[in-house]
Amino acid sequence: MLSNKTRVEILKWLKKPEENFPPHQDIDHFDDGVCVGYIQDKAGLSQSTISTYLNSMQNADLLIPTRHGKWTYYKRNEKVINEYLERLTKEL
């Protein structure tokens, strides 16, 4: 999962949404993360590719999706990400 440059970048971007994405129009915070379109623009890959990536990261429990109207927002699952890093650091 974390063997892909773009997916890792996305995780990093979502660490500080205010610094990496423009403000959303319908909501004035990043509490639920960032919408797919913004992530797509930033990554420069096709809509389907990004959607697939985000979906796979959600399946891996690295991201948490929230639907707001027609938009889907994705945010990091800090707990799982930290657990992964800790385990890796311990075992590797």
Partner DNA sequence: AAAACATATCTATGTTTCTCGATATGTAAA
Partner DNA sequence: TTTACATATCGAGAAACATAGATATGTTTT
Binding site for DNA (CB under 7 A): 3-4, 6, 35-37, 40, 45-49, 51-52, 54-55, 65, 67, 69-72
77 contact, one of DNA, a copy of itself, none, CB 5-8 Å limit per kind: none
12 binds a copy of itself (CB under 8 A): yes
Q: Looking only at residues 54 through 83 of this chain, which bind a copy of itself when binding is defined by CB under 8 A?
A: 81
- The SS3 of residue 65 is strand
37 contact, one of DNA, a copy of itself, none, CB 5-8 Å limit per kind: DNA
5 binds a copy of itself (CB under 8 A): no
Pick from 51, 48, 46, 49: which is nearest to 63 by CA? Answer: 51
Write down how long the chain is.
92
Alpha helices in 14-64 (DSSP H): 17-20, 36-43, 47-59
